[in-house]
């Protein structure tokens, strides 16, 4: 029998699944650098970025909206309406999946022509069939979240990533072994998403079967309920009404959810055109391969915490706001921003200052580490953008972050067009950072209209010191270790240098947080359970009596 998950347990399950999926996704990018050349990497990454953008546009905030609608109907004792909503969502997912898959397959040559990557046609067409199933999978995940069965979506997400990696990489090894060339090899890795979609769909079918039996046992079948509705004088909800409710609630979430994917889509699609006055065709392809394979993969690590925090903070703030407990809203909003400062920033910091060693350790060579460092540093503002978006959703202001995102998109396009011809890949990354900074600034100004954020107060200067000093020391430690291990095998040297930077940055950061009283015992007591335990253990030597 399927058991409902509590709010806390459900949030933890979803956060753990997101963490696992992100890390597994990273391991799909690493083999690209070893298996394919620059053309193959650029082809796969264009197809993958286009696929993720279309998937976000088609499903972005809709599963969350469906989960709310489903949970509301069950709370009101109307499972019949919930099942109608689910049926309408499945129909929408099916139609959308078919249209997207056909569209991507048919327009693949046009997309490749715009991107000036003719070799990407095969990859675009290979990944297209995955769009058939994923919209339906997303709708089903939303339904199960509404029924408080979080494990269904979590397990399907993990299975999807595992099969995507094993299927894609395995098929590529066979294709490349047969001598078909890297164009087909890139398409094989892209086809891994199809394996992932089939696996995820199978998991959701299994859970749907269990739920159907359980509902039937509880006399909650759709036919019985519709009959009872008619007997009670209630008519089934029209699909038009259901879709109006879904789209009204989800469109703002879709726009904000696609922010990062839009930035990456723009960069990969127009990279060759925007940088053609600076790079030769080969240099541009190499730079694009390094940016899309290495930088995007490593830069995906720091925002993981923000995704988990965003999922957990929305219901907390929304609940306090609905009860007009503005002091609690202020406390929770300030707390989540404080946690981002204390935990998200050092991760991005380490990955940025040790980018050379980390890139060299994970990939064939450290080439492109400059782009890795700059893009990863930019995730600091990406994290704050995501977090402030979530706070505004909790404050029942979903349209504001949507409008701010449109402003950010416009600035991204203008800045990239202006900077890329002069600075190449770095110009595109600077344009992305400006986009995220402006969205964050607009979000914070809008939040201040409702509540006053008190993130660090007078502790900003000590906090900056606690960030800058470890960064400088970590960079020095990496440089010294690289010099000392110059005669070692490359991978071993990169490992030693990266480890030295991690120890110095992590150790010095914690020491300064405590020594400069940036983190106080009172702060630690307000953190969520798991984080509170970790921080208490780390800082206990400095606050023995207070913690």
Q: Kindly state the average pLDDT of the residues 424-450.
A: 96
Q: What local confidence, expressed as pLDDT, does residue 29 receive? A: 85
CA distance 271 to 206: 43
Pairwise pLDDT comparison (2 vs 354), residue with the higher score: 354
Residue 2: band (very low, low, confident or very high) from pLDDT cuts 50, 70, 90 = low
Element of type H or E holding 467 = helix 460-484
Pairwise pLDDT comparison (503 vs 458), residue with the higher score: 503
Q: What local confidence, expressed as pLDDT, does residue 329 receive? A: 87
Pairwise pLDDT comparison (251 vs 226), residue with the higher score: 251
CA distance 323 to 304: 30
CA dist 377 → 117, 176, 296, 383, 471 (Å): 28, 36, 12, 11, 12
Helices (H) and strands (E) in the chain, counts: 25, 0
**CB-neighbour burial class of residue 251 (10 A; exposed 0-12, middle 13-18, buried 19+):** middle
CA dist 10 → 146, 154, 173, 390, 488 (Å): 11, 10, 38, 18, 47
CA dist 529 → 12, 494, 515, 533 (Å): 11, 35, 24, 6
Strand, coil or helix: 278: coil
Residue 149: band (very low, low, confident or very high) from pLDDT cuts 50, 70, 90 = confident
Rounded to the nearest integer, the mean pLDDT of the chain is 87
pLDDT digits (tens, 9 = 90+) for 49-104: 999 999 888 777 788 788 878 887 887 778 888 889 999 999 999 999 999 999 99
Pairwise pLDDT comparison (232 vs 460), residue with the higher score: 460
CA distance 543 to 526: 16
**CB-neighbour burial class of residue 146 (10 A; exposed 0-12, middle 13-18, buried 19+):** buried
- Residue 157 has φ and ψ, to the nearest 5°, of -65, -45
CA distance 462 to 456: 10
Check: CB of residue 4 under 8 Å from CB of residue 147.
yes
Q: Kindly state the average pLDDT of the residues 281-294.
A: 95
Q: Kindly state the average pLDDT of the residues 146-156.
A: 82
Q: What local confidence, expressed as pLDDT, does residue 219 receive? A: 56
Query: Measuring CA to CA, which residue among 144, 457, 116 is closest to residue 270?
Result: 116
Q: What local confidence, expressed as pLDDT, does residue 281 receive? A: 93
Q: Kindly state the average pLDDT of the residues 280-308.
A: 89
Q: Kindly state the average pLDDT of the residues 389-403.
A: 89
Q: What local confidence, expressed as pLDDT, does residue 231 receive? A: 46
**CB-neighbour burial class of residue 405 (10 A; exposed 0-12, middle 13-18, buried 19+):** buried
The pTM of the full predicted model, rounded to 2 decimals, is: 0.89
Q: What local confidence, expressed as pLDDT, does residue 210 receive? A: 86
| Residues 6 or more apart whose Cβ sits within 8 Å of residue 352 | 373, 374, 376, 377, 471
Tracing tokens 């269990």 back to the chain, one arrives at 210
Lowest-pLDDT range, 262-266, 355-359, 458-462?
458-462
Could you say which DSSP state residue 455 is in?
S
CA distance 391 to 151: 25
pLDDT digits (tens, 9 = 90+) for 181-205: 999 999 999 999 999 999 999 999 9
What is the percentage of the chain residues whose pLDDT exceeds 90? 55
Q: What local confidence, expressed as pLDDT, does residue 230 receive? A: 47
Check: CB of residue 482 under 8 Å from CB of residue 501.
no
Terminus-to-terminus CA distance in the chain, angstroms?
Answer: 42
């Amino acid at each position: 029998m399927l058991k409902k998950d509590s709010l806390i347990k459900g949030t933890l399950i979803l956060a753990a699944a997101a963490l696992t999926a992100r890390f597994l996704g990273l391991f799909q990018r690493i083999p690209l650098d070893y298996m394919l050349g620059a053309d193959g990497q650029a082809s796969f990454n264009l197809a993958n970025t286009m696929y993720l953008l279309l998937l976000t546009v088609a499903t972005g905030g809709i599963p969350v909206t469906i989960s709310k609608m489903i949970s509301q109907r069950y709370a009101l004792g109307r499972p019949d309406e919930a099942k109608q909503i689910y049926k309408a969502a499945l129909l929408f997912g099916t139609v959308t999946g078919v249209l997207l898959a056909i569209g991507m397959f048919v327009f693949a040559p046009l997309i490749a022509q715009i991107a000036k990557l003719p070799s990407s046609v095969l990859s675009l067409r290979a990944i297209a069939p995955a769009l058939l199933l994923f919209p339906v999978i997303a709708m089903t995940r939303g339904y199960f979240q509404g029924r408080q069965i979080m494990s269904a979506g979590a397990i399907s997400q993990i299975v999807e990533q595992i099969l995507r990696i094993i299927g894609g990489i395995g098929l590529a090894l066979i294709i490349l072994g047969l001598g078909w060339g890297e164009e087909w090899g890139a398409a094989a890795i892209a086809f891994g998403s199809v394996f992932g979609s089939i696996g995820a769909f199978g998991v959701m079918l299994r859970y749907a079967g269990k739920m159907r039996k359980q509902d039937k046992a509880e006399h909650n079948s759709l036919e019985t309920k519709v009959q009872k509705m008619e007997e009670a004088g209630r008519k089934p909800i029209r699909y038009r009404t259901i879709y109006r409710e879904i789209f009204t609630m989800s469109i703002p979430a879709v726009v904000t959810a696609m922010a990062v994917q839009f930035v990456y889509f723009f960069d990969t699609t127009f990279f060759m055109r925007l940088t053609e006055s600076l790079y030769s065709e080969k240099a541009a392809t190499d730079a694009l391969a390094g940016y899309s394979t290495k930088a995007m993969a490593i830069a995906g690590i720091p925002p993981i915490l923000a995704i988990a925090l965003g999922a957990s903070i929305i219901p907390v703030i929304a609940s306090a706001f609905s009860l007009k407990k503005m002091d609690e809203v202020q406390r929770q909003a300030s707390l989540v921003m404080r946690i981002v400062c204390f935990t998200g920033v050092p991760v991005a910091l380490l990955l940025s200052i040790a980018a050379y060693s980390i890139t060299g350790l994970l990939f064939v060579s450290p080439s492109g580490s400059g782009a890795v460092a700059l893009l990863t540093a930019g995730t600091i503002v990406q994290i704050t953008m995501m977090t402030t978006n979530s706070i505004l959703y909790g404050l029942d202001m979903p349209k504001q972050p949507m409008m701010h995102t449109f402003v950010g998109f416009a600035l991204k396009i203008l800045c990239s067009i202006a900077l890329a011809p002069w600075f190449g890949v770095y110009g595109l990354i600077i344009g992305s950072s400006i986009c995220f900074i402006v969205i964050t600034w607009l979000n914070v100004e809008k939040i201040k209209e409702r509540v006053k954020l008190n993130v660090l107060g007078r502790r900003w200067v000590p906090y900056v010191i606690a960030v800058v000093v470890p960064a400088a020391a970590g960079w020095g430690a990496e440089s010294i270790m690289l010099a000392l291990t110059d005669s070692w095998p490359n991978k071993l040297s990169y490992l030693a240098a990266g480890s030295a930077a991690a120890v110095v940055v992590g150790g010095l950061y914690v020491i300064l947080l405590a020594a400069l009283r940036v983190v106080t015992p009172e702060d630690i007591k307000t953190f969520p359970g798991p984080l509170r335990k970790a921080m208490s253990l780390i800082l206990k030597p400095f606050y023995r009596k207070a913690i």
